[in-house]
Structure 1
Amino acid sequence: MFKIIKIDLSSKKIDFEDATNLHRDYLGGLGVNTKLLVEFTPPDVDPLGPENNLIFGAGTFVGTLLPTAARTELTSKSPLSNRFGTSNSGGLWGAALKFAGYSHVVVTGKSPTPVYITINNNQINIEDATHLWGLNTCETVERIKREKGSDYQVAGIGPAGEKLVRFASVQNNYHGAWGRTGMGAVMGSKNLKAVAVRGTGEIRVADRRSFAGVMTEAFKKVINNDSFGYTKRYGSMVVADPYNKIGALPGHNFTRGYFDDWVDTRGRGIFEKKYKEKDLACFSCPIACTHWTNVREGKYKGYENKGLEVSFDLEFGAKLGIKEIAEILKCAEVCNLYGMDVISASGVVAFAIEANQNGLLGKFGAEVPGTWGDFPGIVKLLEHIGQRKGVGDMLAEGIKRASLNIPGSDRYAMQIKGVEMPVRDPRGKWDVWMLGYLTNTRCGDHLRTRSPVDNLLGQVRDCFEEEIAVAEDIINNLDMPKNLKKAIFGAPPYKVDIPLMAKYAEDLITIINSAGLCIRPPVHRALGADFYARALTAVTGHSYTEREVLAAASNIWDLQHEFNVRAGEKKAEYVFPDRFYEEALPVRSGNKPPLSRDVINRVLQRYFAARKWK
């Protein structure tokens, strides 16, 4: 059940290793990936060199019938940040790997010619991919399924990965992705087009009776959680309108937090009414938060695709100012076909537009839109980035590197530690999530630090504490150790201690990403460390306690941080771009003040103390 395939593309050598003991100490999935990367990848390695390792890790629960047990982590040294890189995706790929008898795949070296890997139960092959090179991601999936069988699950790159766009994604079949931190560029640097998996075996848990108990418990808790109904109805789009209401959108490259016409043009209600066709689910998921979209009217009538994810809406709709949902979906489709992270792609385009508006692009100005919401111009620029054509070649290096080549443009480079900032403005609402933009070990990102009791209320800013916006009984019933609950909330619950909750939230999400479940609110809020300890015990046969799984998660996070430090990270990098400290944020009610450098630094000191970091 816990077995690693090790593939050296330089020598074409394939080895196997038992991972049972690694799972005991590092929980599985992300945790085992972290240990393998840290142990076998020097921190000073070139991310696009053959010595860098690319590691797929299906979570410990993946392939079982625990709710949302579908998530696989993809980890390497990031070519975008030059730090720890990792991304997470669901769908069916991870379950297929587990059904084939493996939990992890480690790829190193570089093939002299394009290849792809096939895993068909115990048959692992490195096959010629010259006929696949140059295809977009959907064409790649279609061709492999046609040649090998429709039951193969495909992780593949598009032209952006082949051309080493530093934020290239690895697409998961037709519509999923390992998006952030440039894992597609690492695949491309190895001349690896795809990893296609077919598995027909079964998952054997250590204690079937105990597993049946935790499975029933998990389904009841997830389905009965207060967030289940609206998450199923809207998916990630549930937050789109509240972000606009509280003035926290990343509008026009983080220069405005609110749009008067948002609800009527890009809001969740208009999406549900005019575009949503049906619900879609990952393996073993009762939530079905993904939706199939059908454009029913207008010039794009008949257009169908998966969506609308809130990241598409906030990135292309808010950050780039596109007003029509069909056009937002088409921007996302361009990124998916080329194989590019949506957030980084929209981030570099926003940077280029604002730099162009300020007259900084010189000869490249004609290639970049001069106004927000220019759909044809934005699509053309996205394509040029995926092709590394013209100014797209420079933008394909990511915001940080691109800004170094354009004097005076660093003010418009919305990045943290080299990774483009996503979806929400910290001036609009400061909370645990926003602190996580700075503390995240995969750099400026939003999906590794989130409070299980976060709220979408517009509150008076307090960078150290956040008002509790849920009923006291929800706090009392939260699956969290009593000592942590008292330290974070006080007794009785009064406020959320943001630095302490950030550490706990990171540890909890590390457990989730190692176990292979989803971080959607119904899971994130309903299941905690005690549940994961009992479920891990039932599945693996190892005995875990609540304290042990939290300690293991904290150790995993520390390993990622230590990797970054050895790769050159400095404490001074834990900082937002100057805009957030120097400019007010225009919102409906006026302006929200900039952040205070001194206050944010003191919050970080509290966080570092909680982590016992220097």
Structure 2
Amino acid sequence: MYGYRGKLLQVDLTAGKFSTVEVPEGYFRSFIGGKALGARLLLDRKLFLADPLGAGNEVIILTGPVTGSFVPGVGKALLFSKSPLTGGYLDSAVGGRLSHNIKMAGYDGLIISGRSPQPVSLIIDNDMVELIPADDLWGKGCFESEARLRERFGCDAAVAAIGPAGENLVRYAMIQCDFYHQAGRGGLGAVFGSKNLKALVVSGNTPLPLFAPEDLFTRCLKLITEKKNDQNILFRIKYGTLSTLDGNQKLGIAVVRNFRDGVVDRYETDMNRDYFRQHLVLRDLACFGCSVPCAKLCKVERDGKEILLGGPEYETMSLLGTNLELSPEDLIYLNWLCDDLGLDTISAGNVLGFVAEAMEKSLLEAQEVGAPVIWGDVNGFAKVLVDIAYQRGIGRILAKGVKKAAEYWGIDPDMAIHVKGMELPGYDPRGTTGYALEYAVADRGGCHRRARPLRDEMTDEALRFAYEGKAQLVKDMEDVRAFQHSLPVCDTMPPRFGLKIPDYLEMLRMITGLEMTVKEAKAVGERAINLARCFNYACGITQKEDTLPGRFFKEPLPRGASAGKLVERDQFQTMLSDYYRARGWTPQGSPTHDKLVELGLAEAGGMRE
């Protein structure tokens, strides 16, 4: 077998036992790896029946056939589970060395099940697997935990660890990998915490056979050499995702004060890419083996101490920065605090925005919160974050996310900015109908990574506000993106290297010997989307949750290039129906038997009931 190991490592934390699981014959052709294979395994293992924070839930970590090869941008691992935040389907990607090291250790992925009686770290070094006590790390932040593990296991190991938020089962706790990378969304850190699993350390050096390694090396070297001085690539290296704010500011769809404005006042002074580059960025960072170092290492000083941060990425800049009206320096501190505590910055930023708006409207009082929380006050926001991570005071409620918090206090649900319980990222859908649809139908809840319709919409203002044709656009983009996530490759690479499906199929053949058509590749993406949909239906997440926060239907944006715009409910519903039709689903948004049979997934239909 070329490009694959053909097996997964299964870890039973309850029994402290390890075994290997063969991937069923035919799965690699039907699902390739990554996203599609993970969605298949979630259903196969009936994780829709699990309590997300119970011993019956699992964390599945997958690589793909391109992992460990010369292909640009293959440094992503995909983690799967039943989400503690939404109660439904969850996958989350993470960069760093984790995917490479799992593959080099001799596995295509890991399945972590059960619950350890005491805190442990899972250590993998090729075929040596063991659980070691982690009592000395329990209660420590992500940075100190990883530093201690690296002292013991070396700099070449991949280290994925949780912080206090994961240990205390915050529903949007994340897993941090190699200091500067996060599997952020949906609460995977809480699943680790529920299993008493503090950290995962992976090393490996097992050779990986490829079908045509010399051809692949020549192809990839030519690609990287040709693009070395490409202005698009150089711009990405210089600014990373920070430049995303430029477009969103221009379109009036940035996030300000809990999605009540789309224009950032301090954009002209310091909250912009050039200020970060000139005053805060120390150097560029790359995922393992990547030729495009798009991440940034930033430095600030706070209370006489130096803070180093791998970031911020745009979504954090948006939800923790412009949303809360913080300075760039305060944003970096809050980002660092979230990373050390082990909190997803997108969900955390939404939660803090919700609290600040509630206090502004006297729906919450300072005595109840424990401190005044007002726009621009980093100290108040920092205190709330610590309370959330340790589930103290108001943090016990906010640790469940904005949906549950609004329900608990009886606050207008329109103020709780989420879809299916997952807080939204940094694009206001009132100024992009494509994202309005994508947020509503994304499998893990409000998400910007399933499709990128704004890329097309930015070319034409009329297209940006149009509803007609968006259903097919989003559907097609989702299928292609799901195929890419099954390889898996980073979202950055395809548009910047000009890589299309045929390019990836050529490289896939050189890695595995597998011949596949473009139609078959898109079918892999379709399988991933339909499997995730079946999983959500089995979890009780149905059509009624394919919607948006009421704010977007009722409150127009006040200024900027999208001033006066909101999501028109009737046209949104028509667009949603068109999407179901384009997918071959029922009018209620459920995959039809015929569609599942067409995709070779007939048995998945019975699991969703």
Aligned mate of 1:272, from 273, 277, 282: 277
Aligned mate of 1:238, from 227, 231, 243: 243
For the 8 Å contact 2:251–2:561, the answer to whether it is kept is no
Q: Equivalents in 1 of 2:565, 2:463: separation in Å?
A: 10
Aligned mate of 2:257, from 252, 259, 263: 252
Task: Trace 1:428-447 onto structure 2 (pairs within 5 A).
Answer: 429-447=431-449
Provide closer, same or farther for how the CA distance between residues 355 and 59 of structure 1 changes in structure 2, counting only shifts above 3 A: same
Deviations 1:497-534 (A, max 9, x none): 42212112111211221112110165467222212222
Provide closer, same or farther for how the CA distance between residues 68 and 461 of structure 1 changes in structure 2, counting only shifts above 3 A: closer
Q: Equivalents in 1 of 2:235, 2:456: separation in Å?
A: 15
- Residue 539 of structure 2: aligned partner: 567
- Residue 392 of structure 1: aligned partner: 395
Give secondary structure in 2 for the equivalent of 1:261. helix
For the 8 Å contact 2:73–2:493, the answer to whether it is kept is no
Deviations 1:564-612 (A, max 9, x none): 0111112121111111011111123683222111111111111111111
Provide closer, same or farther for how the CA distance between residues 44 and 536 of structure 1 changes in structure 2, counting only shifts above 3 A: same
User: How far apart are residue 270 of structure 1 and its match?
Assistant: 1.1
Q: Equivalents in 2 of 1:518, 1:314: separation in Å?
A: 21
User: How far apart are residue 22 of structure 1 and its match?
Assistant: 2.5
- Residue 551 of structure 1: aligned partner: 523
Q: Equivalents in 2 of 1:431, 1:214: separation in Å?
A: 38
- Residue 155 (structure 2) pairs with residue 183 (structure 1): no
Provide closer, same or farther for how the CA distance between residues 190 and 301 of structure 1 changes in structure 2, counting only shifts above 3 A: closer
- Alignment length (residue pairs): 581
- Residue 160 of structure 1: aligned partner: 165
Give secondary structure in 1 for the equivalent of 2:182. strand
RMSD: 2.2
Task: Trace 1:39-438 onto structure 2 (pairs within 5 A).
Answer: 39-216=44-221, 218-219=223-224, 223=228, 227-295=232-300, 303-322=307-326, 324-362=327-365, 365-427=368-430, 429-438=431-440
User: How far apart are residue 254 of structure 1 and its match?
Assistant: 0.4
User: How far apart are residue 191 of structure 1 and its match?
Assistant: 0.8
For the 8 Å contact 1:231–1:522, the answer to whether it is kept is no
For the 8 Å contact 1:252–1:350, the answer to whether it is kept is yes
Deviations 1:442-468 (A, max 9, x none): 1111111114953546824655469xx
Q: Equivalents in 2 of 1:161, 1:191: separation in Å?
A: 10
- Residue 4 of structure 1: aligned partner: 8
- Residue 477 (structure 2) pairs with residue 505 (structure 1): yes
Deviations 1:112-136 (A, max 9, x none): 1111110001101122111211111
Provide closer, same or farther for how the CA distance between residues 369 and 423 of structure 1 changes in structure 2, counting only shifts above 3 A: farther
User: How far apart are residue 34 of structure 1 and its match?
Assistant: 1.4
Deviations 1:211-237 (A, max 9, x none): 235424643676576632321111001
- Residue 42 of structure 2: aligned partner: 37
Provide closer, same or farther for how the CA distance between residues 347 and 458 of structure 1 changes in structure 2, counting only shifts above 3 A: farther
Q: In structure 2, list runs of 5 or more residues that go unmatched.
A: 587-609
Letter of the 1:183 partner, please give it: L
Q: Equivalents in 2 of 1:188, 1:398: separation in Å?
A: 17
Give secondary structure in 1 for the equivalent of 2:110. strand
Aligned mate of 1:578, from 550, 555, 565: 550
Give secondary structure in 1 for the equivalent of 2:124. strand
Q: Equivalents in 2 of 1:114, 1:599: separation in Å?
A: 51
How many percent of aligned residue pairs carry the same amino acid? 30
Q: Equivalents in 2 of 1:149, 1:307: separation in Å?
A: 24
Deviations 1:11-65 (A, max 9, x none): 2221112336422221112222111111103423211111111111123211111
For the 8 Å contact 1:161–1:184, the answer to whether it is kept is yes
Q: Equivalents in 1 of 2:557, 2:392: separation in Å?
A: 34
Give secondary structure in 2 for the equivalent of 1:447. coil
Q: Equivalents in 2 of 1:353, 1:458: separation in Å?
A: 35
Deviations 1:328-363 (A, max 9, x none): 011011110011100001111111111122222257
User: How far apart are residue 163 of structure 1 and its match?
Assistant: 0.4
Task: Provide the TM-score with structure 1 as the length reference.
Answer: 0.90
For the 8 Å contact 2:38–2:60, the answer to whether it is kept is yes
User: How far apart are residue 207 of structure 1 and its match?
Assistant: 2.2
Deviations 1:293-329 (A, max 9, x none): 2349x9879543222311221112211111x211101
Q: Equivalents in 1 of 2:131, 2:152: separation in Å?
A: 15
Aligned mate of 1:542, from 498, 509, 514: 514
Letter of the 1:430 partner, please give it: T
Letter of the 2:479 partner, please give it: D
Larger deviation, residues 509-518 vs 379-388: 509-518
Q: Equivalents in 2 of 1:378, 1:123: separation in Å?
A: 44
Provide closer, same or farther for how the CA distance between residues 462 and 314 of structure 1 changes in structure 2, counting only shifts above 3 A: closer
Q: Equivalents in 2 of 1:123, 1:562: separation in Å?
A: 37
Provide closer, same or farther for how the CA distance between residues 552 and 590 of structure 1 changes in structure 2, counting only shifts above 3 A: closer
For the 8 Å contact 1:111–1:191, the answer to whether it is kept is yes
For the 8 Å contact 1:214–1:534, the answer to whether it is kept is no
Q: Equivalents in 2 of 1:511, 1:225: separation in Å?
A: 26
Larger deviation, residues 430-439 vs 551-560: 430-439
User: How far apart are residue 398 of structure 1 and its match?
Assistant: 0.8
Q: Equivalents in 2 of 1:374, 1:568: separation in Å?
A: 39
Larger deviation, residues 202-211 vs 309-318: 202-211
Give secondary structure in 1 for the equivalent of 2:257. helix
User: How far apart are residue 67 of structure 1 and its match?
Assistant: 0.5
Deviations 1:255-276 (A, max 9, x none): 0111232131211111112112
Larger deviation, residues 109-118 vs 358-367: 358-367
Provide closer, same or farther for how the CA distance between residues 356 and 13 of structure 1 changes in structure 2, counting only shifts above 3 A: same
Give secondary structure in 1 for the equivalent of 2:139. coil
Q: In structure 1, list runs of 5 or more residues that go unmatched.
A: 467-496
Provide closer, same or farther for how the CA distance between residues 458 and 310 of structure 1 changes in structure 2, counting only shifts above 3 A: farther
Q: Equivalents in 2 of 1:349, 1:21: separation in Å?
A: 46
Larger deviation, residues 215-224 vs 414-423: 215-224
Q: Equivalents in 2 of 1:218, 1:76: separation in Å?
A: 35
For the 8 Å contact 2:457–2:463, the answer to whether it is kept is no
Q: Equivalents in 1 of 2:446, 2:413: separation in Å?
A: 16
Provide closer, same or farther for how the CA distance between residues 107 and 303 of structure 1 changes in structure 2, counting only shifts above 3 A: closer
For the 8 Å contact 1:160–1:387, the answer to whether it is kept is yes
Letter of the 1:514 partner, please give it: S
